[in-house]
Amino acid sequence: MTDLKARFIAADVEPNSAPQFRREFVTEAGHGDVVSATLSLTALGVCEAWINGVPVSTDLLTPGWTSYEWRLHYVDYDVTPLIEEHSTIGIAVGNGWYRGRLGWIETQRYGDEIAAYAELRVRFADGYEQVIVTDEDWTVGPSAITSNDFYDGQSIDARRRDDRWKRPGFVDPSWGSVHAVPYDGQLTADPSWGSVHAVPYDGQLTADPVAPVRRVDELAPQKVWRSPSGSVLIDFGENIVGYLRVHVQGEAGTVLTARHAEVLDDGELATRPLRSATSTDRFTLSGQQDTFEPTFTFHGFRYAELTGWPGDISEIQGCVTAVVISTDLPRTGHFECSVPDLNQLHENVVRGMRGNFIDIPTDCPQRDERLGWTGDISAFAPTAAFLFDVRNFLTDWLQDVALEQTHHDGIVPYIVPDILKYASTPQEGAGASESAAFWSDASVWVPWALWEAYGDLRTLEASFPSMLAHGRRVRSLLSASGLWDTGFQFGDWLDPDAPAEHPGDAKADPGVVATACAFRTADRIRATAELLGRTSEAEEFASNAQALRAAFRREYIAAERIHSDCTTVYSLAIVFGLLDAEQQRWAGERLAQLVEASGFHISTGFAGTPFIADALTSTGQTSTAYRLLLQRECPSWLYPVTMGATTIWERWDSMLPDGSINPGDMTSFNHYALGAVADWMHRVIGGLAPLAAGYQRILVAPQIADGIDWARTSLQTPHGFAAVAWSRTNDDITIEVTVPEGTSAVLRWPGNDETELAPGNHNLTLPSPLSLNGISRQ
């Protein structure tokens, strides 16, 4: 606990609305000028604050989502310029993750009461500090927000709006008999506003190290039209996460309803994929010019349907904006190449990441989930760590992984923060009864991805206990044969050959997938222990990894085949290092055969997809990897691009080739997991990879095959800017490389020795590997 002294204050007003808390104060005389003022702010719920009517920040959804049972962030705002002699602090609190719906069952909520928490420290010239804290002296009143929920949307009644509550001297008879405020700062609660009471909170308050959620973009309608059924539809051109900001004037009491969806079906808004999330905002007009901005909700959408627009629909274009929100992470990595569809795929990965990094890494942003599914980030962490600076973001989330794990006796739950632990029956999706491969492995794979990207040992140090607990838990689950082949597994989730309603029915044997993952996990814990100088744990996990590798080979490999003989099992075995050199050779060949047999269509699910391209290129099957990547028929990475996708879909065929929506129950159009191929694109097409953690040493090794003529990749590494740009000219490749100061790089080129590249810029011309291979350019 920090030395913050405030109390959480709640209100007994309209359970579904967003209560507003206020407090007036006068700066104490006799201490000279105000030199600084800091507001520490948090809430059980999500909050926004103003001082004298001015927002203290542009942040949204403060304080975000942590495992609230144990940990709650607060944020410090410098509010020095906002302090006047007589000031008002106002705080509005919404349900957010705390009291709003979470998951697909009704009971999963953290608490019944949302509450505000603030401490304002005003420092004067003589060093004196005046402190104003939330306590029973505050007052509370109803807001114009009559309901708010992430899944179900927000309702705002502009007739109830009166912004004077945010300023000193607020008196409004419609709010009850508010009295004039004495200048001595002594405020008594007005009974018509209701009183506040303190709410106990046993968790820890920690300063929020994570970038805030903010408005990161705004989109104008691309098209406004009437659907076949007559409803008014808007297309914003991109599948985004956020809400509509609406400027409108109409008869008082008119209700304008906005529904949201990612896709259309038969020309109408397709809401089935949202499942129970109604994603509906309702705006009641005041009769004056109104602006509505529902900042206590968010939706995943490209299309909106408006009902009740008071004027001509041609006015919508200039009055409605889609506001894009995301955790405002610094962008670090970029990629571009000669194939426009691949660039669109890459852009879709970036957009999908934006929409799913809303304070925590989520599976999807639109339906009744939006949860921290661990498997999804297991797949995506390396890509995320290249595209944006996610060091604080994911390090912070890993703290919750560790806390939840402690609560679950070493089991890493499938979602973090874990709300499934409140489900009472398995039908409701009751929490992780046991660790599952790939999902629970996030506790090891995510810190490792951060280590590779940023080279900061503290990340590994902080996660080490959680890594160890997970590794040991998994070891306790191995059967007598040394395999992880019992118990529940998600396996190669969403294999494209699995039936729509049975996404876990993959071609890959779940034991093969789980044992391969267990090996990778044990080996990463071993490597971490070595880095941290933890000799006995390094030995423990070295022998654990060896035993898993031996068991895998003994039980699952026979006659140059891996059990269940499908692309995912070869991909994992090759990339995770389960094979010796000879096995690696035939496994690469078999993998290439299987890819060819599938007509170069993708045939992997969540587990295999992040690794299949690497498995091919690391075994010399480069042209097969490129043919797989450049496939445009369903299923493939580029198929959604041909269907106009602007984000990565959950299923390879979330939309079927005839334009209808996959009938499965889980059909999101914004899931980042299958976009994990971008990591390979950066390293292997782009040729920019870390050879030592944090890009202290850089590997420049683009693998060039037919189909791509140039690529440009860059990254703001922890040491500075790095870039690789190559292009083909006849039989030559020209390559430009920027190596940051304080690092070194090595250029690896077929037919050449390795070339050392010192910090600075390099410009080289090299023979094309295609001509070296005797493959001429078409």
Catalytic residue ranges: 369, 650
Minimum separation from the CB atom of position 489 to ligand BGC (A): 11
Minimum separation from the CB atom of position 479 to ligand BGC (A): 23
Q: How far apart are CA 85 and CA 441, in angstroms?
A: 55
Q: What is the token pair recorded at 564?
A: 């269940």
Q: Of 372-380, 461-469, 557-565, 690-698, which segment contacts ligand BGC by CB under 6 A?
A: 372-380
Q: Does 364 bind ligand BGC (CB under 6 A)?
A: yes
350: helix, strand or coil? helix
Note whether 348 and 646 are within 8 A (CB).
yes
Considering only residues 383 through 442, tell me which ones interact with ligand BGC, judged by CB under 6 A. none
Rg (Cα) of the chain, in Å, rounded? Answer: 28
The region, left, alpha or beta by phi > 0 then psi within -120 to 50, assigned to residue 370 is left
Q: Of 273-281, 312-320, 368-376, 635-643, which segment contacts ligand BGC by CB under 6 A?
A: 368-376
Q: Does 373 bind ligand BGC (CB under 6 A)?
A: yes
Q: Of 21-29, 367-375, 385-393, 619-627, which segment contacts ligand BGC by CB under 6 A?
A: 367-375
522: helix, strand or coil? helix
Select 21 or 606, whichever has its Cβ closest to ligand BGC: 606
Select 375 or 769, whichever has its Cβ closest to ligand BGC: 375
503: helix, strand or coil? coil
HSE of 105, CA atoms in CB hemisphere, 13 A: 15
Q: Of 361-369, 382-390, 580-588, 768-776, which segment contacts ligand BGC by CB under 6 A?
A: 361-369
Q: Residues 59, 152, 369, 389: which binds ligand BGC (CB under 6 A)? A: 369
What residues contact 753, with CB distance under 8 A and at least 6 apart? none
Minimum separation from the CB atom of position 755 to ligand BGC (A): 42
Q: What is the token pair recorded at 49?
A: 């604050």
With CA atoms as reference, report the closest residue to 441 among 374, 350, 504.
374
Q: Residues 551, 666, 681, 739: which binds ligand BGC (CB under 6 A)? A: 666
What residues contact 718, with CB distance under 8 A and at least 6 apart? 454, 455, 456, 694, 695
Considering only residues 541 through 560, tell me which ones interact with ligand BGC, judged by CB under 6 A. none
- 10 Å Cβ neighbour count for 272? 14
Give 775's DSSP letter: P
Q: How far apart are CA 694 and CA 206, in angstroms?
A: 27
Select 295 or 668, whichever has its Cβ closest to ligand BGC: 668
Select 149 or 376, whichever has its Cβ closest to ligand BGC: 376
Note whether 776 and 728 are within 8 A (CB).
no
The region, left, alpha or beta by phi > 0 then psi within -120 to 50, assigned to residue 163 is alpha
Residue showing tokens 């079927």? 656
Note whether 777 and 728 are within 8 A (CB).
yes
Q: How far apart are CA 387 and CA 348, in angstroms?
A: 12
What residues contact 679, with CB distance under 8 A and at least 6 apart? 382, 383, 386, 610
Select 639 or 649, whichever has its Cβ closest to ligand BGC: 649
Q: How far apart are CA 628 and CA 638, in angstroms?
A: 10
Select 74 or 490, whichever has its Cβ closest to ligand BGC: 490
Select 411 or 725, whichever has its Cβ closest to ligand BGC: 411
Select 59 or 369, whichever has its Cβ closest to ligand BGC: 369
Minimum separation from the CB atom of position 708 to ligand BGC (A): 30
With CA atoms as reference, report the closest residue to 509 among 560, 600, 570, 559.
570
Q: Of 58-66, 370-378, 418-426, 680-688, which segment contacts ligand BGC by CB under 6 A?
A: 370-378
Beta strands in 227-338 (DSSP E): 232-249, 255-261, 264-265, 268-269, 280-284, 289-292, 299-307, 320-327, 333-337
Considering only residues 5 through 64, tell me which ones interact with ligand BGC, judged by CB under 6 A. none
Select 666 or 678, whichever has its Cβ closest to ligand BGC: 666
Q: How far apart are CA 6 and CA 28, in angstroms?
A: 19
Q: How many helical (H) and strand (E) elements, i.e. helices and strands, does the chain have?
A: 16, 37
Minimum separation from the CB atom of position 47 to ligand BGC (A): 28
Q: Does 358 bind ligand BGC (CB under 6 A)?
A: no
Q: What is the token pair recorded at 760?
A: 């600075």
Minimum separation from the CB atom of position 487 to ligand BGC (A): 15
Q: Of 137-145, 268-276, 362-370, 626-634, which segment contacts ligand BGC by CB under 6 A?
A: 362-370
Q: How far apart are CA 330 and CA 332, in angstroms?
A: 6
Select 110 or 373, whichever has its Cβ closest to ligand BGC: 373
* Pairing between β-strand 360-361 and β-strand 557-558 as defined by DSSP bridges: unpaired
Minimum separation from the CB atom of position 441 to ligand BGC (A): 12
Minimum separation from the CB atom of position 496 to ligand BGC (A): 15
Q: Residues 153, 168, 352, 375: which binds ligand BGC (CB under 6 A)? A: 375
Minimum separation from the CB atom of position 104 to ligand BGC (A): 9
Minimum separation from the CB atom of position 428 to ligand BGC (A): 14
Q: What number of chain residues touch ligand BGC (CB under 6 A)?
A: 10
Q: Of 50-58, 226-234, 305-313, 371-379, which segment contacts ligand BGC by CB under 6 A?
A: 371-379
Q: What is the token pair recorded at 228?
A: 């076949």
Select 364 or 387, whichever has its Cβ closest to ligand BGC: 364
Q: Does 363 bind ligand BGC (CB under 6 A)?
A: yes
Q: How far apart are CA 221 and CA 680, in angstroms?
A: 34
Minimum separation from the CB atom of position 655 to ligand BGC (A): 17
Minimum separation from the CB atom of position 673 to ligand BGC (A): 6
Q: Does 452 bind ligand BGC (CB under 6 A)?
A: no
* Pairing between β-strand 561-562 and β-strand 71-78 as defined by DSSP bridges: unpaired
Note whether 117 and 74 are within 8 A (CB).
yes
Site map for ligand BGC, 453-492, x if CB under 6 A?
Answer: -------------------------------------x--
Select 75 or 648, whichever has its Cβ closest to ligand BGC: 648
Minimum separation from the CB atom of position 152 to ligand BGC (A): 19
Q: How many residues does the chain have?
A: 778
Select 272 or 697, whichever has its Cβ closest to ligand BGC: 272
232: helix, strand or coil? strand
Give 119's DSSP letter: E
Q: What is the token pair recorded at 206?
A: 């920690």
Site map for ligand BGC, 493-522, x if CB under 6 A?
Answer: x-----------------------------
Q: How far apart are CA 683 and CA 339, in angstroms?
A: 17
Q: Tell me the backbone φ, ψ of residue 57, rounded to 5 degrees.
A: -165, 175
Considering only residues 667 through 706, tell me which ones interact with ligand BGC, judged by CB under 6 A. 671
* Pairing between β-strand 204-207 and β-strand 71-78 as defined by DSSP bridges: parallel
User: Binding residues for ligand BGC, per CB under 6 A?
Assistant: 363-364, 369, 373, 375-376, 490, 493, 666, 671
